[in-house]
Amino acid sequence: MAEYVIICFLGLVAFLGILGKKDIYQAFLKGAKEGLASGVKIFAPIVAIMTAMRMLQSSGALDFILKLISPFTNFIGMPSEVAPLALMRPLSGSASIAMLEDALERFGPDSLSGHIASVIMGSTETTFYIVSVYFGVTRVKNIRHTLVCALLADLTGIITGIIVCKLLS
């Protein structure tokens, strides 16, 4: 059914374009050109985020940061096996998905760690990626308030997820 909806929508757009005497092909080319320009604009921020993420993992800095924040994670009751996921989630969607998969394989999807990891994935966002891509395309330079609010929202999702999972387990 979904294939037919897309085809019908494209047909409707073409029909309305012809009806309105618009040059559909030129409009398509213009849109493709703008899309390609946006892709070029967001390429550098994506490479920067991916490089920083790999450097954190490869250098051992991620392990150091985890040890540094362990008093806080212990205080809020976060299982130590979920902490790397919570730290990586704002940086990289693909790395956090790999960490979620690893946690689910090692501890099981029905374990407390599996529940908390799943809730963290669903209630947080790849904050740095989103901010760098969207603000990079729109050329907004002052992102500090957005970044602070987004990271606080991620932290709220993590803490609330831990509390709810512990209450329901």
pLDDT for the residue numbered 92: 82
Phi and psi at 6, nearest 5°, equal -65, -45
Query: What is the domain partition of the chain in residue ranges?
Result: 41-168
In order of 14, 30, 61, 119, the CA distances from 27 in angstroms are 11, 5, 48, 42
CA–CA dist 143, 148 (Å, integer): 9
Residue 62 has a pLDDT of 82
Q: Is 93 helix (H, G, I), strand (E, B) or coil?
A: helix
pLDDT given for residue 131 in this prediction:
87
Cα 154 from Cα 120, distance rounded (Å): 9
The pLDDT tens digits along the chain (169 residues) read 777 998 999 899 889 888 888 888 888 889 889 888 878 877 777 787 778 777 877 898 888 988 999 999 999 999 988 999 998 899 888 888 888 998 999 999 999 999 999 999 999 999 988 888 888 778 888 888 999 999 999 999 999 999 999 999 8
